[in-house]
A and B are shown apart, each in its own frame.
Chain A
Amino acid sequence: MKILVCMKQVPQKDAPLKLNESGTWIREDVSYEVNEPDAYALEEALRQKEKHGGEVVVITAGPARAQQVLREALAKGADRAIHLEDAGFVGLDAFNTARAFAAAIKDQPFDLIFTGLQSDDYGFAQTGVILAELLGWPHATIIMQIEKKDSGIRVKRELEAGFFQYVDMPIPAVLTIQSGINKLRYATLIGIKQAKNKPMKKVTLAEAQSALAPNLQQIRRLYIPEKTKKTELLQGGAAEVAKKLVEKLRDEARVI
């Protein structure tokens, strides 16, 4: 199977974030890492390749620093990489990112495309779905398991409240992968050494430009949630207060 894995570089989970000057995004001087669900998507792709043979290709869009994500994937066992390299790719909405990817892989046949379920920064959860639409392929989201069948694949999706769904689908298809579905491997030293010699294709913003359109989504203002403390005294009889409390916990605090 030929599998493409879309991977994104995102700010490290425990990195203290600061807003940029225009208040539309965070400052760039943070540490970055691989978007967590993407790491699981890569792991799943590598496991599929180990079972069925084929090729794993990784793709990312972002400035030079994002190359680290691809290097890491190559060291873990991906065969080659495509880097849409430009800081301009960072601000794209999901639609445009999907368009850029679709343009970059045009004429390259894949059986499956994996993305992470969503990115830890924007959290759109749309790039994979839109990419499927652009390619005219079926897709399935929140994937926990993939089994190759004669006619295509059978996937297990996570639904709400502990329910799962099994779907038989044809390939090619796009799957968005859930975190934690497998055990991530480490990049071995030998893998790191070999990654040097694996192909890394660069695509410039200019080359992708014709596929792009103005962003449909925009972040106007970003702000750190303000901590406020408000004490409210619930009045009435015990039963009444309990009822109000439950309502508040459910509808306002949303903790139950």
Chain B
Amino acid sequence: MATATPVSRKKITGGSFLIEERQLDEVFTPEDFTDEHRQIAQTTDEFALKEIAPVADKLEKKDWALTRELLTKASELGLTSVEVPETYGGMDMDKVSAAIVAERIAKYGSFVVTFGAHSGIGTLPIVYFGTEEQKRKYLPKLATAEFVGAYALSESSSGSDALNCRTKAVLSPDGKHYILNGEKMWITNASFADVFIIFAKVDGEKFSAFIVEKTFPGFAVGAEEHKMGIRGSSTCPLILNDCKVPVENLLGEIGKGHIIAFNILNLGRFKLGAGCVGGARTALQDAIAYAKQRKAFNTTISQFGLIREMIADMAVDIWTGESAVYRTVGMMDVALSEIDKGSPDATRETRKAIEEYAVECSIIKVWGSEALDRAVDATVQVYGGYGFVEEYPAERAYRDSRVNRIFEGTNEINRLIITGFLMKRAMTGQLPLMPAIKRLMDEVLGGPSMSETPEGPLAAEKAIVANAKKIALFTAGAASQKYMQALVDQQEIMGALADIIIETYCMESAVLRAEKLAERGAELATAMTQVYVARAMVTIEAAARKVIAAIAEGDMLRTQMAILRRLLKYEPINTIALREKIAARVIEQGKYVTA
């Protein structure tokens, strides 16, 4: 299928969405998928539907042999090695493909987590930080899932605060081994993994990473946790008791483990967000199927406005999530395409290119995990009493979703990253946020400016997005004026700013995508976008008011509120009618569709 607008190869600065306007051709959307992307989506969809979903009940009972078998099957299709270089038996595909696989495989929560721990955090540390020998030794086997990978950073007393770990590594007297002692906690895949990336402090001080095989002496796996959800995934502690790790299995440099730890989580977040969008797609499909057949008051419940509203909102979230996810990975791919894969610096540059979009990746992680929670919650509600009962898919999906807000950096930590990272970039001048804030302050203090006449079907939404960016800059500017560097200690304000930033990015992504589609007639896409913008503005308004009220008082408060009100001015739109239109279409189709 031809794309409406070709995607430009212009490299975009991470976080610049707050201060720059994007041209349509700079935005990658699912409509810009190549034929290959579509085929990868189809293969992954089919694999998840035919191989994983039918055995979900068995997997739920912790059938690790079957889990491994599925990982092997997935690897035969290439799904586990999308991001592994060809030289080591991988597919070496772009990040759009990686996101597609993450999104489409997500039809049963536990396997998504198993799969992600293996092919993401279990494999990528070696891809990005391994020596040539380490890569040659481990990557081909990880690519085929002959070895299953895992990642052990957290400990019972340090999860978010992972650098504060207690596990220690000491060089053996003969200089041939590091001797590891300590315990890790909540390690995904632990029961059946073969290779673990374990973080420990050399001499109790220098945070470092090691590649540890399960056969190394002194390595043991503890008992399975009894979890709220994703019960078909393995989560155990690791016990390292004088565990002997050959020196050549040190990953990266001594004392530089934090670079690995943070980068790897960073690199994984966009896939977690993509997986959440995929999960929501399944939840919506379940909800629609149930609503269409459940009768009450002599009609199917899919006829009820309040049910249709929930269904419409799920579709709106999927639409918005896809827009934000693929916009982000599209930017990454442009940046990555400039790297000469043959150069010795290639992996470092790759990491840097991805890190550039750390803010966007955190946004996707936070927003995606919360959107999935909304979706599975709505599905339980649509199912009514059956939603609360184990025999139906709604209950499991509801439990399985919850962990996404906890791991790969809790959503609190990620909110702090979003605002903190942008502030840091502003301070160092990497991102000209400060001049933008100053310009805005001059503008708003100068009184109402002439508003441009809106044009096109999404003109009003475009104006709202432009104002939302101003609200973000205005509140961030006001807050940093008050607290200066100490703003980082005002977590509630950092969090509220993050909410404004998250919503701004996501709604802008939806608007841009719908605009791009508009040339082909995009009634449904436009409706979904309009509903999302209306919803986002509720969050933005609440967060902005909270910030302003916390940092100003008296005349200052009134002045700032007057400015804020001006930026928040827009005509309400009939979201009931729009949701009805959306619900009618997706209910008729029995699934999420964009047209």
Give the interface of A toward B (CB within 8 A).
14, 16, 29, 65, 68, 71-72, 75, 186-190, 192-193, 195-196
* New A-B contacts (15) at CB < 8 Å, excluding given A72-B39, A193-B93: A14-B590, A16-B590, A71-B35, A71-B39, A75-B39, A186-B77, A187-B43, A188-B43, A189-B40, A189-B43, A189-B82, A189-B93, A189-B97, A190-B91, A192-B36
Q: How far is the CB of B468 from chain A (nearest CB, A)?
A: 34
A190–B77 alpha-carbon span in the complex (Å) = 8
Q: How far is the CB of A144 from chain B (nearest CB, A)?
A: 22
Q: Is the CB of A188 within 8 A of B36?
A: no
A218–B78 alpha-carbon span in the complex (Å) = 46
Q: Is the CB of B36 within 8 A of A193?
A: yes
Say if the beta carbon of B253 comes within 8 Å of chain A. Answer: no
Produce 1/0 per residue, B26-63, CB < 8 A to A: 00000000011011101100110000000000000000
Say if the beta carbon of B1 comes within 8 Å of chain A. Answer: yes
The residue in B42, B46, B47 that gathers the most chain A C-beta atoms within 10 A of its C-beta is B42
Q: Which residues of B contact A68 (CB under 8 A)?
A: 35, 38
Q: Which residues of A contact B39 (CB under 8 A)?
A: 71-72, 75, 187, 192, 195
- Of all chain A residues, which has the CB nearest B101? A189
Q: How far is the CB of A237 from chain B (nearest CB, A)?
A: 39
Q: How far is the CB of A81 from chain B (nearest CB, A)?
A: 13
Q: By the criterion of a CB under 8 Å from any partner CB, how many residues of chain B are at the interface?
A: 22
Q: Which residues of A contact B442 (CB under 8 A)?
A: none
Say if the beta carbon of B205 comes within 8 Å of chain A. Answer: no
Given contacts A68-B35, A71-B35, A192-B36, whether A187 and B42 have CB atoms under 8 Å apart is yes
Q: Which residues of B contact A16 (CB under 8 A)?
A: 588-590
A113–B529 alpha-carbon span in the complex (Å) = 49
A71–B36 alpha-carbon span in the complex (Å) = 9
Q: Which residues of A contact B588 (CB under 8 A)?
A: 16
Q: Is the CB of A189 within 8 A of B589?
A: no
A189–B35 alpha-carbon span in the complex (Å) = 12
Q: How far is the CB of A217 from chain B (nearest CB, A)?
A: 31
- Of all chain B residues, which has the CB nearest A67? B35
Which secondary structure dominates chain B's binding surface? helix
Q: How far is the CB of A186 from chain B (nearest CB, A)?
A: 5
Q: Which residues of B contact A14 (CB under 8 A)?
A: 590
- Of all chain A residues, which has the CB nearest B93? A189
Between-chain CB contacts (< 8 Å), 9 pairs: A65-B1, A71-B35, A186-B46, A187-B42, A188-B43, A188-B77, A189-B40, A189-B93, A192-B43
Which secondary structure dominates chain A's binding surface? helix
Q: Which residues of A contact B36 (CB under 8 A)?
A: 192-193, 195-196
Say which residue of B40, B47, B590 sits within 8 Å of A192 (CB atoms). B40
Q: Is the CB of B589 within 8 A of A190?
A: no
A144–B93 alpha-carbon span in the complex (Å) = 38
Say if the beta carbon of B79 comes within 8 Å of chain A. Answer: yes
Say if the beta carbon of B76 comes within 8 Å of chain A. Answer: yes
Q: How far is the CB of B102 from chain A (nearest CB, A)?
A: 14
Q: Is the CB of A190 within 8 A of B590?
A: no
Q: Which residues of B contact A186 (CB under 8 A)?
A: 43, 46-47, 77
Q: Is the CB of B77 within 8 A of A189?
A: yes
- Of all chain B residues, which has the CB nearest A75? B39
A186–B40 alpha-carbon span in the complex (Å) = 10
A215–B590 alpha-carbon span in the complex (Å) = 37
Produce 1/0 per residue, B97-133, CB < 8 A to A: 1000000000000000000000000000000000000
User: Which residues in window 543-595 of B have CB below 8 A to A?
Assistant: 588-590, 595
Q: Which residues of B contact A193 (CB under 8 A)?
A: 36, 91, 93
The residue in B77, B82, B588, B589 that gathers the most chain A C-beta atoms within 10 A of its C-beta is B77
A16–B91 alpha-carbon span in the complex (Å) = 36
Q: How far is the CB of A59 from chain B (nearest CB, A)?
A: 18
Q: Which residues of B contact A29 (CB under 8 A)?
A: 595
Q: How far is the CB of B3 from chain A (nearest CB, A)?
A: 14
A193–B39 alpha-carbon span in the complex (Å) = 10
- Of all chain A residues, which has the CB nearest B73? A186
Q: Which residues of B contact A192 (CB under 8 A)?
A: 36, 39-40, 43
Q: Which residues of B contact A187 (CB under 8 A)?
A: 39, 42-43
Q: Is the CB of A189 within 8 A of B78?
A: yes
Q: Which residues of A contact B590 (CB under 8 A)?
A: 14, 16
- Of all chain A residues, which has the CB nearest B595? A29
Q: Is the CB of B42 within 8 A of A188?
A: no
Q: Which residues of A contact B82 (CB under 8 A)?
A: 189
A156–B40 alpha-carbon span in the complex (Å) = 35
Q: Which residues of B contact A75 (CB under 8 A)?
A: 39
Q: Which residues of A contact B76 (CB under 8 A)?
A: 188
Produce 1/0 per residue, B307-335, CB < 8 A to A: 00000000000000000000000000000
A36–B589 alpha-carbon span in the complex (Å) = 21
